[in-house]
Amino acid sequence: MIEPAGEPQSAGGAPETSSPRHTIELRGVSKRYRGTEALAPLDLEIRDGEFFCLLGPSGCGKTTTLNLIGGFVEATSGEIVIQGENVTNVPPHQRNVNTVFQSYALFPHLTVRDNVAFGLKMSRVPARESEVRTRDALELVRLTDYADYYPAQLSGGQQQRVAVARALVNRPAVLLLDEPLGALDLKLRKQLQVELARIHRDVGTTFVFVTHDQEEAMAMADRIAVMNSGRIEQVGTPEEIYARPSSRFVADFVGESNFFEVERRGDGTVVTAGGSPVPCSMGASSDWSRATLMVRPEAIRFAAHKGEHLCLEGEVLQSSFLGSFTRVAIACADTQAPVLATLPYGKRHRQELRVESTVSFTWDPEDAVVLDLQQA
């Protein structure tokens, strides 16, 4: 197996301390391309051995961030520190970082074995050691039998694994992965997500993974940085990001969400634009008057009877049975977009969810996330 990079002390399974060592630190790093800001000055710390995900729509700066760490793009300002060493001005071939490219960029004129051994050859690793490490790397990605094949003779998934082996064989401090599963079909992608997570566990190297697919990020990452127009909106574990999104963008980008524009009245009740009172845990705090409430579809529950306290009413637009859950879209006077609700399979509902029937629904106060707080 490939040894994890870095100091051995972190590899011994020592319990995580309150301030884990950072493999990568970005301090005020920004990037401008001919006057346009691709990346606003950003601070980011990526911990030793974690699977870190940069998530965001195209053009949000996630690939720029990856290229900055890899050294393919020069920072306009700020500094990049990898394993305590300032590498801001170090060219890519001298950084202890390796990349799995979106297109894999395998060398078509070299066999799988020579592709994997290329990095070792470049760093002049002795032939005998190179042979052993190459074999181990191919074993890690389960491609031992394909060592003498050329990349063109492999399937997309196999090529992707060669790219992972080719990068990891160099024992980098950090493995950068630039949407490595983007070109694969859904089923294979799910398979390789599991595979990548296993490889990460096996080698313990820090992984920085770029994707626009929130599901992929949630499935694999220890922590996620959600990016939008050159800024990091939120950094946190998948659970934190899903349960407590810090902005409307994050809530919208990660998972499905319902938004309610609300106002806080003097008596502490929170009401929608249409004047209906709704459940909200922040009603007691008096430092705001306007906000957006975000409620996940699975937090929406249907009221026991019409006219229940703190309920909204609406007309069922569509009800789709999707196997493990049923998805209901409700036209509601208090929101612009239809309210989405998901109901797990097998759970009984007191109201009939026929299309065009009127339903009343609500949520628990702690399930409503308050965003964009504004003073009067």
Partner 1 sequence: MTSSAGQAEAVVRGAGAIRARPRAVLTSRLGEYAGFGPVLLLFGGFFFAPLVLIIAYSFWQVIDYNVVQNWTLDNYRYFLSVPTYVRTFIATLWMTALATVLTIGIAFPFAYWLTRYVSRSWQRPLLLLVIIPFWTSYLLRVASWITILGEGGVVNRTLEALGLIHQPLSFLLYNRWAVIFVLVYLYFPFAALTLFSALERFDWNQLKAAMDLGAPPLTAIWRIMLPQIRPGVITAVIFVFIPILGEYLTPQLVGGVDGVMIGNLVVNFFVGAQYTRGAAIALLITAIAVAMLILFRRSLVLEQVYGR
Whole-number Å distance between alpha carbons of 74 and 82: 15
192-231 in b/e form (b: 16+ CB < 10 A) is: bbebbeebbeebbbbbbbbbbebebbbbbbbbbbbbbebb
Smallest distance, Å, CB 68 to partner 1?
14
158 binds partner 1 (CB under 8 A): no
Please identify which residue in 34, 93, 348, 354 interacts with partner 1, judged by CB under 8 A. 93
Question: CB under 8 Å to 87, separation ≥6 — which residues?
Answer: 71, 80, 81, 95
Q: 112 near 149, Cβ under 8 Å?
A: yes
Does 70 bind partner 1 (CB under 8 A)? Our answer is: yes
Backbone dihedral angles phi then psi of residue 273, each to the nearest 5 degrees: -60, -30
Residue 92 beta carbon to partner 1: minimum distance, rounded to whole angstroms = 5
Using CB under 8 A, which of 92, 182, 338, 365 touches partner 1? 92
Contact between 130 and partner 1 per CB under 8 A: no
Please give the single-letter amino acid code of residue 255: G
| Residue 149 in contact with partner 1, rule: CB under 8 A | yes
99 lines the binding site for partner 1 (CB under 8 A): yes
Question: Is residue 126 within the footprint of partner 1 (CB under 8 A)?
Answer: no
Could you tell me the strand order of the sheet in which 223-228 lies?
A: 97-100, 174-178, 206-211, 51-55, 223-228, 231-236
Q: Which is nearer to partner 1, 101 or 288 (CB)?
A: 101
Nearer to partner 1, 118 or 325 (CB): 118
Determine, following the binding rule CB under 8 A, whether residue 80 of this chain makes contact with partner 1: no
Position among 167, 225, 232, 293 found at the interface with partner 1 (CB under 8 A)? 167
- Told to check if 97 binds partner 1 by CB under 8 A, we report yes
**Residue 141 contacts partner 1 per CB under 8 A:** no
Contacts of 182 (CB under 8 A, 6+ apart): 102, 211, 213
Count of residues for the chain? Answer: 376
Quote the longest CA-to-CA distance of the chain: 78
Binding of partner 1 by 210 (CB under 8 A): no
* Residue 178, beta-bridge partner list: 210
**30 or 170: CB nearest partner 1:** 170
Q: Which stretch in 17-25, 26-34, 98-106, 237-245 sits in contact with partner 1 by CB under 8 A?
A: 98-106
CA–CA gap between residue 229 and residue 98 (Å, rounded)? 26
Find out whether 55 and 217 touch, Cβ atoms under 8 Å. yes
Is 85 a binder of partner 1 (CB under 8 A)?
no
Q: Which is nearer to partner 1, 133 or 296 (CB)?
A: 133
Q: Which residues bind partner 1 (CB under 8 A)?
A: 70, 72, 91-94, 97-99, 101, 103, 105-109, 118-119, 122-123, 148-150, 152-153, 166-167, 170
